[in-house]
Structure 1
Amino acid sequence: MKESELITEAAGYRSVIGAGDYWWKEIKAGETFRIHDLEGNQAADTLFFRAGDLAERYSASDTIKKQGALYLSAGSKLISNRGNVLLEIVADTCGRHDTVGGACSRESNTMRYALEKEPMHACRDSFIRGVQEMGGGKVDITCNINFFMNVPVTPKGELSFADGISAPGRYVEMRAEMDVMALISNCPQLNNPCNGWNPTPVEVLVWK
């Protein structure tokens, strides 16, 4: 883990994303972007795109291959599907972040939990709204990062959704290596222990 040297009060932009809500913004090259877990164990499902070209976006497979590690933390470079570095994680007080568990959807809720869960709001709903506002569509929703989420991988290669390892006040901070669009779905999931069955707000901050 690595703490930031930036002063919170000096951030040029601050916004709180309510539990279950979504948010998007352009982050300019050289700017530092922080996601702050206000109350602890809140999964912040996140997509990144090259600004002006949504066809270039974060790639979980390229990122895992490039760094030779399954989880993200300080020092991890987030690689695009064209092999370019979108952002680098420069500070992290959580320790690791999931990049294989994907985003919850109405369909996955019915398969994992129960058929009556289908009407519940899910991250994919938020992603669809967000990319539409950014000028894209469903085709632009691919593998995402689950910041603060704990998804252990078993020796057999199976995924398990476990209690979170974050805590109130922890954060992850990234420096943009190019102009990027960040899209966050502040996960509304109520069916697994990743957020203690209690979605809470997160805060986003940007320093120039």
Structure 2
Amino acid sequence: MSADPMAVQSALYEETVPGGGHTSFILKRGQTLRLTDIEGGANVSLMLLNASQPSERLNLPDTLKGQHTARLTAGHCLYSDMGRVLAAIIADTRGWHDSFGGVLNAEEVREKYGEGRYQELHNGFFRNGTDNLLVEMGKWNLGLEDLLMVVNLFSKVTVDADGGFHFEEDHGQAGDYVELYAPMDTLVILTALQHPLDPNPQYAPRSVQLSWREERSDGISVVCRTSRPENARAFHNTERFYL
């Protein structure tokens, strides 16, 4: 079995996003971000945009159609609406990440988990994905009109023969991770909240660890470049952007 690249190369930086928390940053070209489910049962709702031209952003329909898949895992790319690669999934111990579920808004959180107000719970109040993402988006001069579909990392949602969605409980375990390599400067916006379809009636979002490292070469992306012809073209489009 090949060595864990994070063990071979020291991380540039590490931080923990607590359950219910949110953050945003630019994942620079040539860097890899590892997201780790510390406790098991985490979900990370993720948005991606071109850091220099944020009107270019993640296009999930093209991402799925171009790679003939309805789930995301190692070897897949996350396409922008300009046919470029915002991030490539180069490693994944969970094996399935959801692209259908979206996030909940404040009203939906109240309906599912109860009131959970700041006045009584203070910093433990019940947060929602829509507002968490908008808070981070505001830091980059983005607003409601820029809110995108999200990838829900660490969550598995299957579709039955009648088109119904089903959240798969006990999917994965503590310590599972997924790694995103950035072939371009990519604005990452994320929040760590339960998946909308998670049947747990209790508000109990789990924390995730983030670790950054610099890649020595873009050879790390070979598995993604070669997994489908469309991915090779998307990488070509990305490289042209930096000529």
Equivalent of 1:157, from 132, 151, 163? Answer: 163
Equivalent of 1:201, from 200, 207, 218? Answer: 207
Q: Structure 1, residues 93-131: CA drift from partner, whole Å, max 9, x if none?
A: 0011001111121244467x48x5596421111001000
Whether the 8 Å contact between 1:4 and 1:173 is mirrored in structure 2 is no
Distance 1:166 1:54 in 2: 33
The alignment yields a C-alpha RMSD, in angstroms, of 2.5
Cα deviation, residue 173, structure 1 = 0.2
Q: What SS is found at the alignment partner of 1:152?
A: strand
Question: For the pair shown, which has the larger CA radius of gyration, 1 or 2?
Answer: 2
Cα deviation, residue 198, structure 1 = 2.7
Q: Which residue of 2 aligns with 1:64?
A: 64
Q: What SS is found at the alignment partner of 2:66?
A: helix
**Matches of residues 9-88 of structure 1 in structure 2 within 5 Å?**
10-88=10-88
Q: What SS is found at the alignment partner of 2:30?
A: coil
Q: Which residue of 1 aligns with 2:226?
A: none
Distance 1:107 1:173 in 2: 33
Alignment of 1:180 onto 2:186: yes
Q: Which amino acid aligns with 1:150?
A: K
Could you tell me the percent identity over the aligned residues?
A: 26
Distance 1:153 1:58 in 2: 23
Q: Which residue of 1 aligns with 2:225?
A: none
Alignment of 1:168 onto 2:150: no
Distance 2:110 2:202 in 1: 20
Distance 2:3 2:74 in 1: 9
Structure 1: segments with no counterpart, 5+ residues? none
Distance 2:24 2:47 in 1: 9
User: Could you state the TM-score of these two structures normalised by the residue count of structure 1?
Assistant: 0.89
> What is the number of residues matched between the two proteins?
205
Cα deviation, residue 60, structure 1 = 1.0
Q: What SS is found at the alignment partner of 2:6?
A: coil
Larger relative helix fraction: 2
Distance 1:162 1:108 in 2: 21
Which moves more between the two structures, 2-11 or 100-109? 2-11
Structure 1 runs of 4+ with >6 Å offset:
none
Q: Which amino acid aligns with 2:62?
A: D
Distance 1:3 1:91 in 2: 12
